[in-house]
Structure 1
Amino acid sequence: MTYWINTVSRDHVARGVAGGFTQANHGKPHMLRKMVRGDWIIFYSPRTTFPDGPPLQAFTAIGQVSDDEPYQAEVAPDFRPWRRAMDFQACEEAPIRPLIDHLDFVEDKKRWGYRFRFGVFAIDQHDFEVIRSAMSPP
């Protein structure tokens, strides 16, 4: 099992939660093909809306991959993004700033946002648990 972060604006995360899917890197399949059924994904939203919404800087959803292969969806005739089916968990948004000092994947605490520029990346179980705990409903 692998734990992932997927960097996605909050409005796009909400669409995925409502539809039971995730996309990555603007609909490209590469990172989605690395995921397997049962992998966990935590969604980090730098902004409320794509592309220029107000800054948010929070973890906004958490879920588990529930299919065996990526699939293509037809959103428009010229846009067929790759997706993975997801089972999303009940959670609350969690701002990242209080967690930065506790996250091992943030190597440079002053430049903590650097890792999120890659869109999707793997994290270890410790970091997953830190974030999941912060997102757990009371």
Structure 2
Amino acid sequence: MSTRYWLAVVSRDHVRRGVELGFAQANHGKRAAVERMSAGDGLVYYSPRTGMREGEPIKSFTALGTIAEGPAWQVEEQGGCFRPWRRAVDYDRDARQVPIDDLRTELDLTSVPNWGIVLRRGLVELTAHDFELISRAMVGQ
């Protein structure tokens, strides 16, 4: 099986929590999103804003990692009905936030008209080219 590369669209506040705790969650915690990912796949987060429906617009790549071994799991209910599905991720702690505008002219993702509409899916498969370009920009390699 070959490596795949994913871009998840999540607010920066939520991304930071996932990085801190070592997990990925996408599409409002839906199982199908994390079940598409496999161990060894690359993951990059794009954050339109600092907060989920509010906060400062940042339009940046905010985290970078690799899906770890192990299956997806569902979080136990914690005083509410929200029980998201997650995957373990090995995050690159040296990755820095990079505005999408810094790479927009070079990305396959942004080469089509109305590319922003694609991001509304919440989880998008990236080309190897795009993942490598974003990775280099975020970690300087």
- Name the TM tier (shorter chain): over 0.9
> Do the aligned partners of residues 23 and 75 (structure 1) sit closer, same or farther apart at CA in structure 2, a change above 3 Å counting?
farther
Q: Does 1:119 align with 2:119?
A: no
State the identity %: 43
| 1:68-96 Cα shifts (integer Å, max 9, x gaps) | 31101125241111000010002000000
Cα RMSD after superposing both structures:
1.5
* Structure (1 or 2) with the greater helix fraction: 1
Q: Distance in 2 between matches of 1:130 and 1:51?
A: 28
- 1:42 is aligned, of 34, 41, 44, to 44
Q: Distance in 2 between matches of 1:75 and 1:126?
A: 39
| 1:49-68 Cα shifts (integer Å, max 9, x gaps) | 11211211000000011133
Where structure 2 has 5 or more consecutive residues not aligned to the other structure, the ranges are: none
Q: Which amino acid aligns with 1:95?
A: P
**Moved beyond 3 Å, runs of 4+:** none
Counterpart contact for 1:92–1:137, Cα < 8 Å: no
Where structure 1 has 5 or more consecutive residues not aligned to the other structure, the ranges are: none
Q: Could you say what secondary structure the match of 2:62 adopts?
A: strand
Counterpart residue number, 1:106: 110
> Do the aligned partners of residues 75 and 22 (structure 1) sit closer, same or farther apart at CA in structure 2, a change above 3 Å counting?
farther
Q: Distance in 2 between matches of 1:107 and 1:137?
A: 23
How many residue pairs get aligned? The number is: 137
Q: Which amino acid aligns with 2:132?
A: E
Counterpart residue number, 1:97: 101
Q: Could you say what secondary structure the match of 2:104 adopts?
A: helix
| 1:13-33 Cα shifts (integer Å, max 9, x gaps) | 000001000111101010211
Counterpart contact for 2:105–2:111, Cα < 8 Å: no
Using the size of structure 1 for normalisation, the TM-score is 0.93
- 2:15 is aligned, of 13, 16, 36, to 13
Counterpart residue number, 2:89: 86
Q: Which amino acid aligns with 2:102?
A: P
